[in-house]
A and B are shown apart, each in its own frame.
Chain A
Amino acid sequence: MKVSVISLTCCAGCVSSFLNAGDALLEILSQDFEIVYSPTFVDLKEIPEVDLAIVEGGVRTFGDEEVIREVRAKSRILVALGICATHGGITSLGNLTSIKKLLEKEYSLSVSSKLPELEDLMYPICSFVDVDYYIPGCPPMPFLIVHSLKRIVSGKTPIRHQSVVCTECHRKIIPAKLDSLYGIYEKEANPETCLVSQGFVCLGSLTRDGCGAPCPRAGFTCFGCRGPADSLLYRSRDIYAFLVKVISKRTSIPEEKVKEELYRNPFIFHTFIFSRFERFKARERVI
């Protein structure tokens, strides 16, 4: 199988994660899996026709848009790897402000027009092309990437993860009586009980599983890098209201007060709210 690995606007963490798969990486490379195009590893300048394209990063410039359209046209299967490709990711925080205007002020006055022009927003790739499989994560864990790719190489559909991170977390949900929410640095977390019931804003109850819950296991709140779980991809589900309910239930803090505290911290939802994932369309393709 001929494979291309493409990077659009991103941090390159997803391909790094793929390379962290160790022996599993060696195994897949020894199978029918030939990377013929990848600016990071291979000296080929033209995008070739391939069976499988793995794309990390989203569309921030018209240059990115051109590339993703060409890649789609030349690839039989297209996999969006990581939250930037699937949802727009961290760079979408720039969608909150008129960052394009600022950048234009800086660059388009220049004599050279060698730099690709910016799109108005940071887009996930599905805004421009059809995607066969989405593997969200920031980055997705190495085993998740390799397992999914192995299934694709052997002509099967990758195993889907439809539930939430809580199902993979060892912490016990014990409803508590608290007065307020806490930042992760404000107090030390008890290692056994649910972070939400200790007053931390952990997004595990909203977020798709498949990562093994490394963050809450380490005592760090889940920040939702796998995107919304299947149940939250219905139009009728209000993600924000759902989180308020979960927190209120596990901490006994009234919903109104939870809302107030969450409002003060809009960045909590960065991977959910500020991205333009076509969240109602592609449920069955999210891995």
Chain B
Amino acid sequence: MSQKREITISPTTRIEGHGKVTITLDEFGNVSDAHFYATEIRGFDYFLRGMEAERLPFIISRICGVCSTAHILASVKAIENIYGTEITETARKLRELLLIGQIISNHSLVFFFLTLPDFWFSPEENPSKRNIFQIMREKPEIGKEAIELRSFGTQILDVIGKREVHVVSVIPGGLINPLKEKERERLLKMAENACRITKEALTIGKELFEKNWADFKKAGDYRTYYMALTTDGAIELYDGKICVVNPDGEILSEFTSNDYMEYVEEKRYEWTYAKFAYLKALGWPKGIVQVGPTARMNVNKRVTTEFANKELEEFKRKFGSPAYATLLFDYARLIDLMYACERVKELLDDESLTQADTRVKVKPKGGVGIGVVEAPRGTLAHEYVLTKNGLLKNMKLIIPTQVNNAAINLNVKDAAMEFIRQGEIKPGLLNRIEMVIRAYDPCIKCATRQVDENLRVEIRNSKGELLRTLGLG
């Protein structure tokens, strides 16, 4: 009998954080298992215990420098949920702008810097060339537009949040600083240009996508549940209800953020530092659910802005609703971006945005609270338990990458099985595996910030049979 073998891809490239893939082959050289896993951990929710609530939002943003603003917003929402604070309409709009700024800076980075090289170059291209810097050398105007669009997102964060990464102006009760009229006008001017660049990106993206669609369709096509925030069937980022649709696109449940932890549960495996989240009612693995750009398209029927809505209609016409193919994440991300840019214009067009009432006084108290926002990578939830002295007793964070973790692993195994048969590895394996991972834009930084004492570790043998369960609570 020949030996079992293991193939390792490390580090996975053009994604955020430290990832690794291992593929286990059985004695016949066929894939017996494949895992995408996280190799770093920091322990945020453990060492933050005892922290005063007022310092939490700003320290918790250090979970992820890529989507720090989304974490800060979820965090202040959770604290306000405990305090019973109602923020002003002006503050709500400014926070939505910040979240959109985050989505623009993230999505422009992911599209141009991380995934575009996959569409741009043929899979046979020398890997050392398959990156944005090479595209910039060949076509400098693309690099210029990429940076310009990202700069627009970071300008929003800088002007309203007062720092580009880890913003400081958002506090429980609203925002410290109102928006000045000059700032509003300046951002509004930039918004025009951002809309133009996004339309061009959509044209480039769609063209490359159609060219490669036959191949892309093969790379993962799963019927799962989908979850996103929604307001009256339209894409929503900061507020709204959480909606889950089943693989046929029918609404399974719709609930408010307060009930989030009743619907979503998490589990862990011993081979990765990142946990897996799933729908509690359906159990594991039936309740595998996806969040993020495609989920936003699948859960919602419409977008409230004109151009993005047209794009969504076209998307649904072409790929159905729900759309399943994994690589559609990259396409849907561009529709997100379009909505984001149009919505910024809409918000900034409103002169009342510069009103001075951005802050209300908070009355600290203890209790449990949840904050949910739609982060670039999908629905993000923070739950805190505060003592009556306002110190953190416990926290539970469910992060988009944890939700998508299961689907990512399914995709990786599938790709491995397609490319490896009887010990023979077809060329293109590495590229395909990394492309499906990249589509999810996983953020390992986010998914691995925590440890949790009340968890169960499952030990399985190579057949996947459960040997032992260790509870550490």
Once A20-B165, A22-B147 are accepted as A-B contacts, the answer to whether A106 and B472 lie under 8 Å apart by CB is: yes
Bound-complex Cα distance A17 to B154 (A)? 9
Hey, what's the 0/1 contact readout for A101-130 against B, CB within 8 Å counting as 1? 011011101111011101000100000000
Bound-complex Cα distance A44 to B117 (A)? 14
Bound-complex Cα distance A25 to B271 (A)? 38
Cβ–Cβ < 8 Å partners of A97 in chain B: 46-47
Cβ–Cβ < 8 Å partners of B51 in chain A: 267
Task: Say yes or no: B166 contacts A106, CB within 8 Å.
Answer: no
**Min CB distance, B97 to chain A, in Å?**
16
Cβ–Cβ < 8 Å partners of B147 in chain A: 22-23, 25-26
Task: Say yes or no: A218 contacts B168, CB within 8 Å.
Answer: yes
Cβ–Cβ < 8 Å partners of A218 in chain B: 162-163, 168-169, 176-177
Cβ–Cβ < 8 Å partners of A17 in chain B: 65, 164-165
Task: Spot the interface stretch: B8-16, B206-214, B397-405, B418-426.
Answer: B8-16
Hey, what's the 0/1 contact readout for B183-203 against A, CB within 8 Å counting as 1? 000000000000000000000
Task: Say yes or no: A109 contacts B470, CB within 8 Å.
Answer: yes
Once A29-B136, A103-B41, A114-B22 are accepted as A-B contacts, the answer to whether A183 and B13 lie under 8 Å apart by CB is: no
Cβ–Cβ < 8 Å partners of B163 in chain A: 214-215, 218
Across the interface, A12 reaches (CB within 8 A) one of B47, B64, B271, namely B64
Cβ–Cβ < 8 Å partners of B271 in chain A: 110, 112, 114-115
Task: Say yes or no: B47 contacts A96, CB within 8 Å.
Answer: yes
Across the interface, A63 reaches (CB within 8 A) one of B39, B128, B143, B461, namely B39
Task: Say yes or no: B65 contacts A220, CB within 8 Å.
Answer: no
Q: Which of A1-54 contact B (CB under 8 A)?
A: 7, 9-17, 19-20, 22-23, 25-26, 29, 34-36, 39-45
Q: Which of B1-57 contact A (CB under 8 A)?
A: 9-18, 20, 22, 37, 39-43, 46-48, 51-52, 54-55
Tell yes or no: B144 within 8 A of A by CB.
yes
Bound-complex Cα distance A217 to B270 (A)? 46
Tell yes or no: B432 within 8 A of A by CB.
no
Hey, what's the 0/1 contact readout for B408-428 against A, CB within 8 Å counting as 1? 000000000000000000000
Bound-complex Cα distance A45 to B271 (A)? 22
Cβ–Cβ < 8 Å partners of A43 in chain B: 13-14, 127-128, 130-131, 434
Task: Say yes or no: A13 contacts B66, CB within 8 Å.
Answer: yes
Cβ–Cβ < 8 Å partners of A13 in chain B: 62, 64-66, 68, 165-166
Task: Say yes or no: A22 contacts B151, CB within 8 Å.
Answer: yes
Bound-complex Cα distance A280 to B105 (A)? 39
Cβ–Cβ < 8 Å partners of A64 in chain B: 40
Task: Say yes or no: A214 contacts B162, CB within 8 Å.
Answer: yes
Task: Say yes or no: A60 contacts B128, CB within 8 Å.
Answer: no
Bound-complex Cα distance A22 to B114 (A)? 17
**Min CB distance, B217 to chain A, in Å?**
23
Task: Say yes or no: B128 contacts A36, CB within 8 Å.
Answer: yes
Task: Say yes or no: B65 contacts A45, CB within 8 Å.
Answer: no
Which chain B residue has the least Cβ–Cβ distance from A57? B40
Task: Say yes or no: B166 contacts A44, CB within 8 Å.
Answer: no
Tell yes or no: A139 within 8 A of B by CB.
yes
Task: Say yes or no: A139 contacts B65, CB within 8 Å.
Answer: yes
Tell yes or no: B387 within 8 A of A by CB.
no
Q: Which of A152-193 contact B (CB under 8 A)?
A: 183-185, 188-189
Across the interface, A90 reaches (CB within 8 A) one of B13, B62, B133, B151, namely B62
Bound-complex Cα distance A183 to B163 (A)? 20
Which chain A residue has the least Cβ–Cβ distance from B143? A26
Cβ–Cβ < 8 Å partners of A103 in chain B: 41, 43, 451
**Min CB distance, B461 to chain A, in Å?**
8
Bound-complex Cα distance A12 to B114 (A)? 15
**Min CB distance, A224 to chain B, in Å?**
12
Tell yes or no: B138 within 8 A of A by CB.
no
Bound-complex Cα distance A94 to B46 (A)? 8
Bound-complex Cα distance A15 to B365 (A)? 38
Most chain A CB within 10 A, of B46, B105, B173, B362, is at B46
Across the interface, A106 reaches (CB within 8 A) one of B54, B113, B455, namely B455
Bound-complex Cα distance A114 to B35 (A)? 11
Tell yes or no: B172 within 8 A of A by CB.
yes
Tell yes or no: A91 within 8 A of B by CB.
yes
Task: Say yes or no: A106 contacts B451, CB within 8 Å.
Answer: yes
Bound-complex Cα distance A197 to B147 (A)? 41
Across the interface, A34 reaches (CB within 8 A) one of B105, B133, B455, namely B133
Task: Say yes or no: B455 contacts A19, CB within 8 Å.
Answer: no
Task: Say yes or no: B65 contacts A12, CB within 8 Å.
Answer: yes
Once A10-B445, A20-B165, A267-B51 are accepted as A-B contacts, the answer to whether A219 and B65 lie under 8 Å apart by CB is: no
Q: Which of B129-162 contact A (CB under 8 A)?
A: 130-133, 136, 143-144, 147-148, 150-151, 154, 162
Task: Say yes or no: B162 contacts A215, CB within 8 Å.
Answer: yes
Tell yes or no: A223 within 8 A of B by CB.
yes
Task: Say yes or no: A94 contacts B47, CB within 8 Å.
Answer: yes
Q: Which of B382-400 contact A (CB under 8 A)?
A: none
Tell yes or no: B63 within 8 A of A by CB.
yes
Cβ–Cβ < 8 Å partners of A236 in chain B: none
Bound-complex Cα distance A218 to B64 (A)? 22
Cβ–Cβ < 8 Å partners of B120 in chain A: none
Task: Say yes or no: B40 contacts A114, CB within 8 Å.
Answer: no
Cβ–Cβ < 8 Å partners of B169 in chain A: 218-220
Tell yes or no: B460 within 8 A of A by CB.
yes
Across the interface, A102 reaches (CB within 8 A) one of B15, B144, B451, namely B451
Bound-complex Cα distance A168 to B362 (A)? 31
Across the interface, B270 reaches (CB within 8 A) one of A15, A39, A111, namely A111
Tell yes or no: B457 within 8 A of A by CB.
yes
Tell yes or no: A73 within 8 A of B by CB.
no
Task: Say yes or no: A114 contacts B37, CB within 8 Å.
Answer: yes
Bound-complex Cα distance A102 to B455 (A)? 12
Bound-complex Cα distance A36 to B166 (A)? 28
Task: Say yes or no: B150 contacts A112, CB within 8 Å.
Answer: no
Task: Say yes or no: B40 contacts A61, CB within 8 Å.
Answer: yes
Once A60-B41, A215-B168 are accepted as A-B contacts, the answer to whether A42 and B47 lie under 8 Å apart by CB is: no
Tell yes or no: A138 within 8 A of B by CB.
yes
Tell yes or no: B59 within 8 A of A by CB.
yes
**Min CB distance, A34 to chain B, in Å?**
7
Task: Say yes or no: A45 contacts B11, CB within 8 Å.
Answer: yes
Cβ–Cβ < 8 Å partners of A35 in chain B: 133
Which chain B residue has the least Cβ–Cβ distance from A139? B165
Q: Which residues of B contact A (CB under 8 A)?
A: 9-18, 20, 22, 37, 39-43, 46-48, 51-52, 54-55, 58-59, 62-66, 68, 105, 109, 113-114, 127-128, 130-133, 136, 143-144, 147-148, 150-151, 154, 162-166, 168-169, 171-173, 176-177, 270-273, 359, 362, 434, 445, 451, 453, 455, 457, 459-461, 467, 470, 472
| Extra inter-chain contacts (4) besides given A22-B148, A99-B46, CB under 8 Å | A26-B147, A39-B14, A115-B37, A116-B39
* Contact sample, A vs B, 6 pairs, CB 8 Å cutoff: A39-B12, A43-B131, A90-B62, A97-B47, A218-B169, A265-B52
